[in-house]
Amino acid sequence: MFDTAVQRANMVAAQLRTNDVLDGRLLRAVETIPREIFVPERFRPVAYMERCIELAPNRVLMDARCFGKLAQLAAISATDIVLNIGCGTGYSAAVLGMLGAHVFALDEQEELISLAQLRLQEVGARNVHVARGRLTDGYPARAPFDVIFMDGAIEVEPKVVLGQLTDGGRLVAVKRDGAAGYGCLYVKHGNAIGERAAFDAWLPVLPGFAKPRGFSF
């Protein structure tokens, strides 16, 4: 039997602190939420390894380093309203729910949504609300948001989603350019959007956020 509390503590020490994820509230949240219940049963023995874990075709639970650095980059306060786009089975939403006031967790896949609802209920995430919809549409019914957390990569600027930020709101995502990728912070200032690359990272692209593929000759 694996001692998952020890594994979480080791993950925080070896994968987060050593990669400059030092926000105390975030570290406590990661050490609290049982990551293993959010992955398929066959992957539970490796839930705390330094790797992404497949949830569905081209959908993953991101590795702890990438998740921690993105969440820290978002600088979520206790009063923030958060949108989690591509929530998968709900792990990110559960952690983000310990940081912000309310989290709206959005996905397109019915199977993932059902699992997210079940797992979030198991961990008592009462301030997390799961919804179904196209990821590229965001969640206009509950906009604006202080923080938008993209649970995967993008290749194109998410213009519709960025329009759902409050003034001063932040969107974090892994931005891919071919084989390269990096954690990216967007900040809304009035009608303008600032963008900053923060760290190297690579994740599968979320549905709807890939560049159109042209013909090659």
- Mean pLDDT for 27-47 is 96
Specify the pLDDT at position 214. 62
Specify the pLDDT at position 168. 97
Q: Structure pTM?
A: 0.95
Is the pLDDT reported for residue 216 higher than 90?
no
Q: Confidence class of residue 217 from pLDDT cuts 50, 70 and 90?
A: very low
57: preceding bond cis by omega (within 30 degrees): no
Nearest Cα residue to 159 out of 210, 206, 201, 193: 193
> In this structure, which amino acid lies at residue 104?
F
Every domain of the chain and the residues it spans? 4-200
CATH of 4-200, one of 3.30.540.10, 3.40.50.150, 3.40.50.10310, 3.40.50.620: 3.40.50.150
Q: Confidence class of residue 2 from pLDDT cuts 50, 70 and 90?
A: low
- Mean pLDDT for 9-35 is 97
pLDDT (tens digit, 9 = 90+) per residue, 109-118?
Answer: 999 999 999 9
Measure CA 122 to chain center.
19
- Mean pLDDT for 49-71 is 96
- Mean pLDDT for 85-97 is 98
Is the pLDDT reported for residue 132 higher than 80?
yes
Q: Rounded to an integer, what distance in angstroms lies between the CA atom of residue 21 and that of residue 181?
A: 19
CA angle, residues 203, 13, 87, in degrees to nearest 5: 35
Is the pLDDT reported for residue 83 higher than 50?
yes
DSSP secondary structure string for all residues of 109-158: -HHHHHHHHHHHHHTT-TTEEEEE--GGG--GGG--EEEEEEEEEESS--
| DSSP SS3 for 169 | strand
| DSSP SS3 for 32 | helix
Specify the pLDDT at position 179. 82
The phi and psi torsions of 201 (rounded to 5 degrees) equal: -165, 160
Q: Rounded to an integer, what distance in angstroms lies between the CA atom of residue 31 and that of residue 29?
A: 5
pLDDT (tens digit, 9 = 90+) per residue, 158-202?
Answer: 999 999 999 999 999 999 988 889 999 999 999 999 999 999 999
Q: How far is CA 168 from CA 55, 129, 143, 164, 192, in A?
A: 33, 23, 14, 11, 10
Q: Confidence class of residue 3 from pLDDT cuts 50, 70 and 90?
A: confident
